[in-house]
Amino acid sequence: MSSTLFESDGHVVRLFSDLATGEGIQANQLLITHGHHAALFDPGGDLLYMPLSMAIAKIIPLKQLDYIFASHQDPDIIASLDKWLMYTEAKVVTSRLWHRFIPHFVPGYMSAKGEGRLIGLPDEGKSLPFGDSEIKAVPAHFLHSVGNFHFYDPISKVLFSGDVGASLVDEEYGRPVRDFDRHVAKMQGFHERYMVSNKVCRLWANMVRLMDVDMIVPQHGRPFIGQVMVQRFLDWFETVECGIDRLEQTAYSVA
């Protein structure tokens, strides 16, 4: 049901990668526990709520969740918000650009459940306390979404990268990439379409190179584990021609 990416001195990083069934796109969810503290990343929509909450409940009580982090506003990221607000006491963290949009996922009769529990991140990011450690929200704007954040755990050195690094794979969800050159074909089309421009890719890669990252875990597909794979991904990602780089006048014509 889950795989353990890191475990040391009561700090555990678990990856759920096989909970989406039917026609829903495969999605990864990350759960970090630190002593009696816990944080969940990109929990998904209604399709995932029941299997994910049941899987987490086997590890910790749902009431133990301190945070639910949403990298951006898409349904496969946070559309199950109403249920997490109902059954947990977690604070929900997302970009302040989406701070007033996210409540649209919550029925009006539940509006009181969200009072004081939504944390809007400033564009420059923020560190949030997590027991005697922290979770860092780092900017990833225009890498698919105008208000976008990735989340870094300084203990495990895991960067949860949202749609950056996403791959469309038919099997082996959650298993580390072993052959990077073959894996590129699983990423190329997605990144060309969903990333805004190569300039943003390069700026993001420059930032990540200044961080101490041992794993990049995207929201879809397979993670990059170890310095060699992290660097291979950054070298590739900063060269991707994508989004507006690829547009011509023909894309804006009346059929």
Give the integer Cα–Cα distance in Å for 119 and 38: 16
pLDDT value for 111: 59
Kindly tell me if the per-residue pLDDT of 22 is higher than 70: no
| Averaged pLDDT for residues 75-82 | 83
pLDDT value for 45: 85
Q: What percent of the chain has pLDDT over 90?
A: 74
SS3 labels along the chain: CCEEEEEECCEEEEEECCCCCCCCCCCCEEEEEECCEEEEECCCCHHHHHHHHHHHHCCCCHHHEEEEECCCCCHHHHCCHHHHHHHCCCEEEEECCCCCCHHHHCCHHHHHHHCCCEEEECCCCEEEEECCEEEEEEECCCCCCCCCEEEEECCCCEEECCCCCCCCCCCCCCCCCCCHHHHHHHHHHHHHHHCCCHHHHHHHHHHHHCCCCCEEECCCCCCEECHHHHHHHHHHHCCCCCHHHHCCHHHCCCC
Q: What is the pLDDT of residues 237-251, one digit of tens each?
A: 999 999 999 999 999
Kindly tell me if the per-residue pLDDT of 255 is higher than 70: yes
Neighbour count for residue 22 (Cβ, 10 Å): 5
pTM, entire model? 0.93
pLDDT value for 113: 62
pLDDT value for 107: 58
Looking at 3.60.15.10, 3.40.50.2300, 3.30.70.1050, 3.30.230.70, the CATH number of the domain 3-250 comes to: 3.60.15.10
| Averaged pLDDT for residues 86-96 | 92
Matching residue, tokens 């749609």: 163
Give the integer Cα–Cα distance in Å for 86 and 60: 17
Q: What is the pLDDT of residues 23-46, one digit of tens each?
A: 678 889 999 999 999 999 999 888
| Averaged pLDDT for residues 83-96 | 91
| Averaged pLDDT for residues 108-125 | 77
The burial class, CB within 10 Å (0-12 / 13-18 / 19+), for 155 is: middle
Kindly tell me if the per-residue pLDDT of 130 is higher than 90: yes
Chain centre to alpha carbon of residue 194: 15
Kindly tell me if the per-residue pLDDT of 227 is higher than 70: yes
Q: What is the pLDDT of residues 175-198, one digit of tens each?
A: 999 999 999 999 999 999 999 999
Matching residue, tokens 């990735």: 150
